[in-house]
Structure 1
């Protein structure tokens, strides 16, 4: 399936972007968190700019995947980014993956397979109305605002975890705008510049990147990455089913779907605690 292949390539690009952005973000002093000074510090860093270039490539590949496949398929496939990220880190820091790390990779891959096979999502046949977009924006905005507030008030691992969930939701909502924009592009390319979804996509994407940088900068990978990894596909599947009419199997299939999510969560936690991930987490200044 072409959409799956494109999503896999997008995951690889996202993994490269994640490694480069994480290295740059963790070098920024903690006092610049939640401030525009964080972005000003990062834009002067060539490593961070390389990460942005990789993220742009991932965006293009994700848009192509969403143009040919369901949101509920593409977003879960993108979670493969985490195993790829850990593999890149292992090469970059010269740290071998131990048996538990490989078990974590296998657990996560099994979880993604179980989730997709059980849910069997199919492309939707409807376009969200303006009122549905407004409701989705309000609900998503309130949820992200609550998570950001909780992150700012929290200490320890709770802060990067809350911000990771917020970033994951933001990226999933951005993917919904991408899907709407690609639909407009395929029907009438000249109408794209006159439509609001592309501009909403850019705004949501930039805000999600800001949330991501704060999540990476505020704490260890073991807290932020699992939260981001699971919130993105789960939110993406919900947006796909509720807004675009993508069909996801229910009934008895819910049990293996939940099992798939649990396996993904378990695998992502183990990977975030792997030797390469720990080596990539320098001391804060």
Structure 2
């Protein structure tokens, strides 16, 4: 009861100070708004249709009922969800020529983006482990990657991502926001929202670094570890045909990994060396939209 009361008090304190944030989007140039609207609408439709086709193909074809395609269909679902969390809101804002998003809406958007981005992160690790088992232990692959383990990996990925997202969202409730409520972004991103707080954000910032190191660093290390063993096994294969087949089975997954992690690292490195307030918004398109749009093309 005490925790519920504290939660309600923090929320009431924040809501009493303000009622909404302002999403500034990618640009203030009104002449570019129709172009941005059409471009983002096209990217969203490609993302939804392409990933839906993968889900339908995997579910309808019994030959695709394998661990690799099971993880791929879940990755496609995560791509659809993360795109739907951000893009429709932006399209509606452009169409109605408004920038406001409610406090509750912003907090919800932060939470859902973290859930589905985290889920995609863990699914890529599960797919790397699947490729490791297939290439390094082919005779025991069926026993290792059994249906029960595959389902448990997906459920574990979703559970951990949800816990991480709820932890950040609940910690945001302790922050107070006063006057400067403009977010230089087209959706509510965690670090951008925290930067607007007029209360102490040290705990929130430490939490971001700690959880990023655990929930992003550990999966990335798992992917690298898996591919070190994969490359080592492939190089020991006697025939070039076997090597080509092994690398080809990993090519699609590697392309998705490079798209996801490469764009994230590129965005944060560029934002660290430049001072433009628009760079985070423009750069976030690379990791919040481009990988989701191209994943199904990379795995086709």
TM-score, normalised relative to structure 1: 0.30
Q: Which entry has the higher C-alpha Rg, 1 or 2?
A: 2
Higher relative contact order (CA 8 A, sep 6+): 1
TM-score, normalised relative to structure 2: 0.29
